[in-house]
Structure 1
Amino acid sequence: MQDETMVVLAEYNTIMEAEISKSMLDSAGIWSTIRNEYMSAIYPIGTMPAQLVVREDDFEKARTLLQLR
């Protein structure tokens, strides 16, 4: 990955929610990663949400797939 802009697609209060969405994107061939994965598991819910991040070019396709606003 060279100089690709990454954007936050969604934030989740639990790792499980983030992993489910990531799995759906993976199945559709959209690369994604989860930021704050470990920190969100340590801190209380809502303090440090897990962020699902995608390439800027994939943002609209990923948003539509996950039916996000």
Structure 2
Amino acid sequence: MNEESQIVLAEYNTLMEAEIAKSMLDSAGIPSTIRNEYMSTIYPVGTMPAQLVVRKEDYERARDLLRHR
């Protein structure tokens, strides 16, 4: 994904939470990535959250999907 076409959909205190949300998006055909994937496991909870990132054009659909989980 191009950095300019990405937007942070959500931030999670644990990598596991971010992975679950990413899996849900993947299942719905919405491509996503996790930023700070490794840093969020090194630093104390809440210091460097894992960020779930999607394309701008997928943001609304992805947000609605995660909201109803």
Q: Report the TM range for the smaller structure's normalisation.
A: over 0.9
Instruction: Work out the CA distance in 2 between the residues paired with 1:39 and 1:58.
Output: 25
* TM-score of the aligned structures, taking structure 1 as reference length: 0.92
| 2:35 aligned partner | 35
RMSD (CA atoms): 1.6
- Within-5 A mapping of 1:2-21: 5-21=5-21
Alignment coverage as a number of residue pairs? 68
Is 1:52 aligned to 2:41, yes or no? Answer: no
Q: Deviations over 1:43-68 (max 9, x none)?
A: 00000000000000000000000007
Q: Secondary structure at the match of 1:29?
A: coil
Q: Compare the two structures and name the one with the higher helix fraction.
A: 2
Structure 2 unpaired stretches of 5+: none
Q: Gaps spanning 5+ residues in structure 1: where?
A: none
Which secondary structure state, in structure 1, belongs to the residue aligned with residue 30 of structure 2?
A: coil
Identity across the alignment (%): 75
Report SS of the residue matched to 2:34: strand
